[in-house]
């Protein structure tokens, strides 16, 4: 396969000459709604962080088509190993926004009990979404190990692992792809080449002509796809998933897109992203592009837009209010879920902590008795 040829389906005006999607109208609308939900979630989280109500968030603007297109190609029995810029993968598979907001606040209903940073989601239902990790590329070998285990056990599952262009410079990328190629593990590697690894431009990240070409060194196919084209990303991912299910091994997909915001809420992209480059990619907005496609298919209307925008806005705002009003994790969660049987030294530390906080009048410690 030519790793320099760009796979594209939707033209800038929304046309798809000769392409017939396998998605129903309802499924196409769900894809569009998910992208709108990502933007609404982003917007609310930015406001919460700027107001000092949460500590951190990761902007997703510009990457929505890659996230949603890839997520639409996997089954709920498969495993997702996402990066921290993949809100759309969870939302596409109908993870309730309130469950994601619990993590943003690190409250008592957060699946990680406040032990993780915000945007480090993990879920087992309705989709198996592996815990997001901050260290770059460390989740890539995890995905390969899980996929290899599925193959050894004869389970019909595939792993999809997503990472940025910066992640290709990590040891985890090399180790993961090398083992996956040797084992023919049923895993799909999705490189979101969004132009920047924080402030490092892609052209300073690698001397290769791109990232898909790196697949050749590991004995797997590599494909380059227009990351702002939801249907093209879905097609590339669907083909890779089918290949993995047939026992033919992994695929590396390079989705070329652009991060139209900061690396995080701690970042100021105006210091390193040229304004004209941002304007250029703004004209390639993936949400607008998919909207034009739906309009040409006779699915999108102004009334539908108004309805969906109102729905996602109300849903995300309500989720934030619920999560912010939820209590903080109990003190015992510092010690729980670590060992099946709590070691003596941790029990002593827990008893000391509860006694100390009780004497200082912290209601969270109850009567001072360590509950574990």
Q: Is 141 helix (H, G, I), strand (E, B) or coil?
A: helix
Q: How far is it, in rounded angstroms, from Cα 255 to Cα 241?
A: 16
**Known catalytic membership, residue 120:** no
**Which member of 139, 157, 243, 263 is catalytic?**
263
Q: How many CB atoms lie within 10 A of CB 237?
A: 26
Q: What is the DSSP string of 53-77?
A: SSS-----TT-HHHHHHHHTTS-TT
Q: How far is it, in rounded angstroms, from Cα 323 to Cα 311?
A: 18
**Which member of 93, 243, 256, 259 is catalytic?**
259
CA angle 216, 82, 339 (to 5 degrees): 115
Q: How far is it, in rounded angstroms, from Cα 275 to Cα 150?
A: 46
How large is the angle between the packed helices 230-245 and 64-71, nearest 10 degrees?
A: 30
**Known catalytic membership, residue 259:** yes
Q: How far is it, in rounded angstroms, from Cα 147 to Cα 155?
A: 9
Residues with Cβ < 8 Å from 371, sequence gap 6 or more? 332
Enter the tokens of residue 87: 């809100």
Using DSSP bridges, classify how beta strands 187-193 and 159-164 pair: parallel, antiparallel or unpaired: parallel
Largest CA distance in the chain: 73
Which H or E run includes 275? helix 275-282
**Which member of 272, 283, 339, 359 is catalytic?**
272
CA dist list (Å): 148 to 123, 155, 157, 187? 21, 10, 10, 8
**Known catalytic membership, residue 345:** no
Peptide bond into 126 cis (omega under 30): yes
Q: How far is it, in rounded angstroms, from Cα 148 to Cα 250?
A: 11
| Strands (DSSP E) found in the chain | 6-7, 79-81, 128-129, 159-164, 187-193, 196-197, 200-201, 222-226, 251-256
Enter the tokens of residue 54: 């949460």
Peptide bond into 62 cis (omega under 30): no
Instruction: Say if residues 293 and 228 touch (Cβ distance below 8 Å).
Output: no
Which positions are catalytic?
259, 263, 272
């Amino acid at each position: 396969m030519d790793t320099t040829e760009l796979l594209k389906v939707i033209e800038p005006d929304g046309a798809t000459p000769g392409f017939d999607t396998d998605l129903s109208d309802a499924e196409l609308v769900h894809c569009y709604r998910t992208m709108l939900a990502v933007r609404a979630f982003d917007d609310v989280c930015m406001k919460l962080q700027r107001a000092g109500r949460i500590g951190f968030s990761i902007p997703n603007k510009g990457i929505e088509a890659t996230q949603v297109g890839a997520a639409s190609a996997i089954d709920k029995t498969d495993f997702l190993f996402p990066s921290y810029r993949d809100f759309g993968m969870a939302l596409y598979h109908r993870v309730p926004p309130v469950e994601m907001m619990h993590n943003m606040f690190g409250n008592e209903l957060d699946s990680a009990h406040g032990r993780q940073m915000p945007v480090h989601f993990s879920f087992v239902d309705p989709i198996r979404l592996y815990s997001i990790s901050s260290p770059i590329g460390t989740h890539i070998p995890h995905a390969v190990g899980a996929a290899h285990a599925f193959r050894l056990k004869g389970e019909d599952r595939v792993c999809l692992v997503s990472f940025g262009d910066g992640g290709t410079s990590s040891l985890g990328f090399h180790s993961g792809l090398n083992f996956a190629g040797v084992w023919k593990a049923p895993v799909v590697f999705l490189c979101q080449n969004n132009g920047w690894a924080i402030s490092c431009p892609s052209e300073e990240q690698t001397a290769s002509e791109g990232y898909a070409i790196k697949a050749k060194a590991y004995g797997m196919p590599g494909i380059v796809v227009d990351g702002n084209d939801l249907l093209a990303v879905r097609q590339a991912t669907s083909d890779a998933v089918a290949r993995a299910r047939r026992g033919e091994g992994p695929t590396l997909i390079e989705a070329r897109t652009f991060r139209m915001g900061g690396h995080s809420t701690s970042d100021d992209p105006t210091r390193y992203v040229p304004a004209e480059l941002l304007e250029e990619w703004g004209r390639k907005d993936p949400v607008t592009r998919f909207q034009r496609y739906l309009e040409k298919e006779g699915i999108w209307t102004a009334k539908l837009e108004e309805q969906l925008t109102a729905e996602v806005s109300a849903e995300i705002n309500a989720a934030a209010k619920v999560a912010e009003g939820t209590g903080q994790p109990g003190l015992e969660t510092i010690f729980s879920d670590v060992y099946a049987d709590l070691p003596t030294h941790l029990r002593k530390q827990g008893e000391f902590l509860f006694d100390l906080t009780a004497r200082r009048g912290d209601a969270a410690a109850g009567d001072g008795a360590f509950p574990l």
